[in-house]
Amino acid sequence: METRNFYILIASVAVAFTCFWLTLYAIITLDIDIFQDPDTVIIKGQAIDGELSISLSELKSDKYEKIESHTFDIKNSVGREYERIYSGVSLRSIFEVEDLISGNPSLLYFKFRGRDGYITEALPLSTVFNNLYNETIIAFADGNGHPLFEEGPLRSVIDQSVMPIGEVASQYSVQKLAIIEVF
């Protein structure tokens, strides 16, 4: 009986050790900052000098174009279409107010990255600049003005109407938004 308990102990330590190293590897490989404040979004990339960190309280201030209770048409990869209502700030207004883009936006791309490691495919920045302010937002509340607790304090939302042909908006609606990378 004592030998069996010893083997169980050794197996448990091996599993714990493996889980620890796999988690560490995932954090390093996916470039996840586990210490980043969940109430902030960072905008960085090759097309931007340095990086800009914007807090939830700054997003809620009058600094950026607010979008209140806007209905978004979203399509997922299996073809199901649905509507969601969100409130937040226009991504385009953030780029304009902070003067982040100095060149031609049609030559640049961007990605959203969540705190859980989810990274979207690259999307042309012209998707943001060639359309209305309310079609691409950083959401912080649902249609009733309630904070997005389960979806993270911040989330990206893009309306299906501005998506390139063959792309679906749901893959760019990133919960627990952490980083917007522009390149």
Class of domain 36-182: alpha beta
**Choice among 75-79, 86-90, 91-95, 126-130 with the minimum mean pLDDT:** 126-130
Does residue 166 register a pLDDT over 90? no
Band of the pLDDT at 119, cuts 50, 70, 90? very high
Greatest CA span in the chain, whole angstroms? 72
pLDDT-derived band at 1 (thresholds 50, 70, 90) equals low
Give the position of tokens 């599993």: 15
Q: What is the pLDDT of residues 139-161, one digit of tens each?
A: 999 988 888 877 779 999 999 99
Query: How many residues belong to the chain?
Result: 183
Q: What is the mean pLDDT of residues 75-81?
A: 89
For residues 146, 151, 152, 158, the Cα torsion angle rounded to the nearest 10 degrees is -90
Q: Are 159 and 128 in contact (CB under 8 A)?
A: no
pTM given for the model: 0.81
Quickly count: other Cβ atoms within 10 Å of residue 168's Cβ: 18
Higher pLDDT, 108 or 28: 108
Q: What one-character-per-residue DSSP string does 112-164 give? A: EEETTS-BPPPEETHHHHTS-GGGEEEEEEETTS-B-STT-S-EEEE-GGGSP
